[in-house]
Amino acid sequence: MLNDFLTTPPTAEPAQLVEQIKRMAHSAQAHFLSEEKFLTDQHYPRLQAHRNAHARLLRRMGLVIRELSSSVTPIRLLALKVQLKDALARHIRHEDLDYARIYCDHRPNEVCGVTDDMLDWSQELSLGAPTLDREHGELARTLNAFYCAAIHEAYGIDPSPFVRKIQTRFQAHFEHEKELLERYAPELAAVHLADHDSFSQSLDGALSALSDPEDRIEDLGALFDALQLWFIRHTLTADLELAERLPNELRD
């Protein structure tokens, strides 16, 4: 919609330009409203400031419409286009990015809206051991948060803190499973813990690659796929075996 307006030649009829920008303002308004509804639902702390920014953008579009309704020079038209594009880009880079950064972490699936590629925590991954299942659900969310950050990388989100979060949260979970293994299934411990180590090592590798501009990971999506695949395989093999050895009071 913005592109229609930006690419219109300076010789276009003013009425045509006004029509375009009206359409653009109309769709921007609908988009802003749905974004504000989302932010309200998420109890976003800077909602009012974000709302004000939307109102300023709409007012700016209104002023452009008014100015275009009388005749403008080609230079003035160019200036109006550049200013409007700049204002929208700044909003996306600052205000929109601010909530994306917060909600990649809290509600990755809702923010990204690309749930198809994400890890779907479902009954199929449930082991019938409530504490482990709850922890696994949390870990799935942490992996999805990284994916959400990865696909927003182009907008300036740094995925490294999300990888570090995966590292810390998996580490805590591995410690918990280590205790359970030693207590209830010591003969399974060596193989199981070695598999945890291999996951931790691949994360270490990913983190050092992310911090080194020379060796930058090109395909964060592939990294996510690899982590996700490990998680599913490990849950349905080693963790399932462990869960089956747990005493009844730790099972559903």
Catalog residues that contact Fe ion under the rule CB under 5 A: 35, 96, 177, 239
Place of tokens 């917060």: 102
Alpha helix ranges (H) inside the chain: 2-6, 14-41, 47-69, 74-91, 97-106, 108-112, 130-151, 160-184, 186-211, 220-234, 240-245
- Listing DSSP states for 12-71 in one string gives S-HHHHHHHHHHHHHHHHHHHHHHHHHHHHTT-TTHHHHHHHHHHHHHHHHHHHHHHHS-
Least Cβ distance, residue 216 to Fe ion (angstroms)? 29
Between 96 and 138, name the residue whose CB sits nearer to Fe ion: 96
Least Cβ distance, residue 159 to Fe ion (angstroms)? 22
Between 4 and 96, name the residue whose CB sits nearer to Fe ion: 96
Which tokens sit at 56? 């300023």
223-240 in b/e form (b: 16+ CB < 10 A) is: bbeebbebbeebbeebbb
Between 8 and 202, name the residue whose CB sits nearer to Fe ion: 202
Q: How far apart are CA 21 and CA 152, in angstroms?
A: 28
Between 72 and 178, name the residue whose CB sits nearer to Fe ion: 178
Least Cβ distance, residue 139 to Fe ion (angstroms)? 7
Between 137 and 161, name the residue whose CB sits nearer to Fe ion: 137
Least Cβ distance, residue 53 to Fe ion (angstroms)? 7
Name the closest residue to Fe ion (Cβ). Answer: 239
Least Cβ distance, residue 50 to Fe ion (angstroms)? 6
